[in-house]
Amino acid sequence: MAEGPDDTVFEDCQFLTGSPQRFAVLAQLQERPARPTDLCDTVDATRTTIQRILAGCSERQWVVKRDGEYRLTVTGQRVLDQYTALMSEVERARAVGPLAVHLGSMAADLPAELLDPDCLTTSSEQNPLAAIDRFTDWLHEVDGDVRAISPIVTSVFNDVAVDLLETGTHIEFIIDHGVLERSASDFSDALERGVEHENIDTYVHDTPLDIGLALDRSRVCLAAYDDRNNVRAIAESDAKAVYNWAETVFDRYRARSQPLESVLSVQENKQ
């Protein structure tokens, strides 16, 4: 069993994270050396608190006092850099959480570009349809043919498919047996279209799906669903690395799927 950091390292981490003023002092000293009175003008803390912070940082050799001014040491700069990076990652985790929590095994090789908060749309109590609305808009904006994976069937998606087919767009679509059953009971016209229309090839995956994925000529849209199959978040990207990843994922799912016609034929033979 690997040994972790000793107690003094944890104590040092607790010291740094114990108040935002400690980070603020180090950040100000990164800009320029300063006296305690100077820091009182830029950090929201009393002189006594500033002196206490500087004493703690000096004890840990993150700062050093020269000619009456405090300045960062090289190790203090590295601690500040790493703490800044950690806060950025925690901020990213908070923003991306609605996507990450519903990804399941998909998260294992997810490209970092899809974890950029700027490419996310998430649903919330205030706007529960934000993700599904943006996903629908994305589909309406497709350029070229479409490949898609979906664990749900809705009238909204079916209507988008009709619009795409009418423009001559070719669709490759992967669903699971649960979607097939609901389509047969609630969306028979869409199911018939999935069999007969020359511009759509539908496949049925051998196990339940838990992610949504769509890609057109150059863009990717990843959708994360909750346990009730509500779209909770989507991530969009046109980065080449993301597109290559999405193609690999789609091909992997399609390799484990059967053409819709074959599945329906087997079902009919069993009846």
Same domain, 80 and 109: no
Same domain, 50 and 180: no
Same domain, 126 and 75: no
The pLDDT assigned to 68 comes to 93
Residue at 158 is within a domain: yes
Residue at 90 is within a domain: no
Residue at 94 is within a domain: no
Same domain, 118 and 79: no
The pLDDT assigned to 230 comes to 82
The sign of the dihedral angle between the CA atoms of 51, 22, 64, 9 is positive
Count of domains forming the chain:
2
SS3 content of the chain, % helix, strand, coil (to 5): 55, 20, 25
Same domain, 162 and 124: yes
The pLDDT assigned to 271 comes to 60
Instruction: Tell which of 20, 54, 84 closes a domain.
Output: 84
Same domain, 183 and 223: yes
Residue at 97 is within a domain: no
Per DSSP, the residues of 2-17 read: -----HHHHHHHHHHH
Residue at 136 is within a domain: yes
Same domain, 116 and 32: no
How many CA atoms within 13 Å lie on the side-chain side of 71?
Answer: 8
Same domain, 63 and 126: no
Residue at 95 is within a domain: no
Residue at 1 is within a domain: no
Mean pLDDT in runs of 10 for the chain (271 residues)? 69 94 97 95 94 97 96 97 94 87 78 90 90 91 94 87 91 94 88 87 92 94 85 93 96 95 80 60
Q: Give the H/E segment covering residue 72.
A: strand 69-72
The pLDDT assigned to 1 comes to 40
What is the CATH number for 65? 1.10.10.10
Same domain, 56 and 165: no
pLDDT digits (tens, 9 = 90+) for 187-202: 888 888 888 889 999 9
Structural domain boundaries enclosing 170: 102-269
Residue at 93 is within a domain: no
What is the rounded distance in angstroms from the CA atom of residue 172 to the CA atom of residue 229?
21
- How much is the pTM? 0.77
pLDDT digits (tens, 9 = 90+) for 210-225: 889 999 999 999 998 8
What is the CATH number for 137? 3.30.870.10
What is the rounded distance in angstroms from the CA atom of residue 9 to the CA atom of residue 145?
55
